[in-house]
Amino acid sequence: MSATSANKDDFFAQTAVPERFSEKYELMKEFVSKHRAIGNRVVLVSSGGTTVPLESRTVRFIDNFSIGTRGSASAEYPLYFLQHGYAVIFLYRLRSLEPYSRHLQRRLMDMLEVKGDSVTVKHDHTSSLKSILQQYEGVKAKDLLLSIDFTSLAEYLHLLRASAQILNAIHSKALLYLAAAVSDFYIPKHEMPEHKIQSSTDKPLQLSLQLVPKMLKPLVKEWAPDAFVVSFKLETDRNILIKKALSALDKYQHQVVIANLLDTRKYEVVLVTKETEKPILLSKEDSDKGLEIEEEIVKQLIARHKHFIES
């Protein structure tokens, strides 16, 4: 596998505008302008992994580990803090976890039981289910959540650019929370076979991937220059994590990097700014009680975003 790099214009030129793009664009535009009119802040939460197709008529693709726990959990918390007046665009990988329904996805079968002719919720799950449904209904009634899906890297980046440009209309009231696990490598359209790669040639498969241009740069400089931007840095080596986070802040000049390690990401992150490094930890005890680290991450960010807007 070898890799060379392209610039962002090449990338967008080499990748077709995704299906249903204009419909999604209009939904985001309408959502932002509605919340702008009532003075709400809007947060874009990106979530889940991107695929990198190996064929135009895609049978195979490269993927990554992310199932969107961070993004889907985080999208719920600004809504818990309704007094902070946030609406959420949830840009997520299709079939990854989603806010509210994530609580049911793996447990639904254990929550229900058959009683005579009907299906009911088991007694010990009633109150948690009721609370999730109430929160969800409140969010729906106030139209505070817009979910937009993507699958491939190209779809994600086209939608990221569009949403950032749309959000710039609300200037500093926009918060971009980029938790999606985005591929660093891709195969440009003109180098991709149209049909399924054949295995009958007896030769090992050789792939040549290009480096995806770093989109944080145009995002901060051109697409949403007034927004509060939070990126995530994922590493597996603790020794380079903070250095890489600081280097991203220096290169892209945005506000915050949340640094996390693959193995400990649910219990430990560091909120890094140019001036500060703030560890956020979730104890085993709190985790056993069902608490999540995203609540504290979002609390911290809401406070910093408030300060950013005021200054």
In the complex with ligand 9Z3, which residue's Cβ is closer, 255 or 260? Answer: 260
Q: Least distance to ligand 9Z3 from the beta carbon of 251, Å?
A: 11
- In 10 A of CB 284, how many CB atoms? 8
In the complex with ligand 9Z3, which residue's Cβ is closer, 40 or 72? Answer: 72
Q: Least distance to ligand 9Z3 from the beta carbon of 107, Å?
A: 18
Strands (E), the chain: 2-5, 41-47, 52-53, 61-62, 86-93, 112-115, 118-121, 145-150, 174-178, 185-186, 208-211, 228-235, 256-261, 268-272, 277-281
Q: Least distance to ligand 9Z3 from the beta carbon of 15, Å?
A: 18
Q: How many helices (H) and strands (E) does the chain have?
A: 11, 15
In the complex with ligand 9Z3, which residue's Cβ is closer, 166 or 259? Answer: 259
In the complex with ligand 9Z3, which residue's Cβ is closer, 29 or 265? Answer: 265
| CB proximity list for 278: less than 8 A, separation 6 or greater | 270, 271, 272, 300
Binding site for ligand 9Z3 (CB under 6 A): 66-70, 178-179, 181-182, 231-234, 260, 265
In the complex with ligand 9Z3, which residue's Cβ is closer, 31 or 228? Answer: 228
Q: Least distance to ligand 9Z3 from the beta carbon of 60, Å?
A: 21
Could you give the CA distance from residue 274 to residue 246 in angstroms, rounded to a whole number? Answer: 7
Could you give the CA distance from residue 234 to residue 262 in angstroms, rounded to a whole number? Answer: 7
Q: Least distance to ligand 9Z3 from the beta carbon of 215, Å?
A: 9
CB 31 within 8 A of CB 89: yes
In the complex with ligand 9Z3, which residue's Cβ is closer, 73 or 79? Answer: 73
Could you give the CA distance from residue 130 to residue 123 in angstroms, rounded to a whole number? Answer: 11
Q: Least distance to ligand 9Z3 from the beta carbon of 70, Å?
A: 4
Paired sense of beta strands 145-150 and 118-121, if any: unpaired
